[in-house]
Amino acid sequence: MSEQASNGQPHYSQPPVGQIPGGQPPYPYGQPNYGKPPGSQPPYPYGQPNYGQLYAPATQPQSNGKGVASLILGICSIVSSGFVITGVIAGIIGLVLASLSKKQIGKNGLATGGLITSIIGLVLSIITLLMFILLIVWVIPTLGDDPSLFGNYDIPPEFLD
């Protein structure tokens, strides 16, 4: 196996194909056949069964622009719920678009998300409106009764009525 090369170094080569390194001879008649593994099935007489065709092919979920628009308007109504008018307008338009999208397509995640976010935005806008009305009707008049709340300023009597 090892011969001397022209530079005095030993020359190593690959063993011939079919020969195991280390000088062991290969199996005399190829790989041993141990038969089929226990418990294996016999071959199918008419070819492989076609298991892949039992179900209908998967389809893409349907979506439309109304569902996307309702989701965007619902998010905008939540964000702008502090500004009552824009929150209510965005929430109502989002509700309308979500219901139209659900009627057209049926079960649609975007339309459902738009419906939910629009309802949340409307509720937050209504809560903001009620807090603003409460501030005007109840809190501001009670502050006007005590002149010490305004500091040491001289308040004319006509403003205290």
Cα gap 125→89, rounded to integer Å: 10
Note whether residue 108 is domain-resident. yes
Half-sphere CA count of 47, side-chain side, radius 13 A: 2
Q: What is the pLDDT along the chain (161 residues), one digit of tens a residue?
A: 455 556 666 666 665 665 555 555 555 565 555 666 666 666 656 665 555 555 666 666 666 888 999 999 999 999 998 898 999 999 999 999 999 998 888 888 888 999 999 999 999 999 999 999 988 888 777 766 665 555 556 666 777 76
Q: Helix (H, G, I), strand (E, B), or coil: what is residue 28?
A: strand
Note whether residue 95 is domain-resident. yes
Note whether residue 35 is domain-resident. no
Find where tokens 């294996």 sit.
40
Task: State how many domains the chain has.
Answer: 1
pTM for the full model?
0.52
Structural domain boundaries enclosing 92? 65-142
Please report the pLDDT score of residue 142 as a whole number: 72
Note whether residue 115 is domain-resident. yes
Note whether residue 23 is domain-resident. no
84-112 residue pLDDT tens? 899 999 999 999 999 999 888 888 888 89
Cα gap 125→87, rounded to integer Å: 6
108 close to 62: Cβ distance less than 8 angstroms: yes
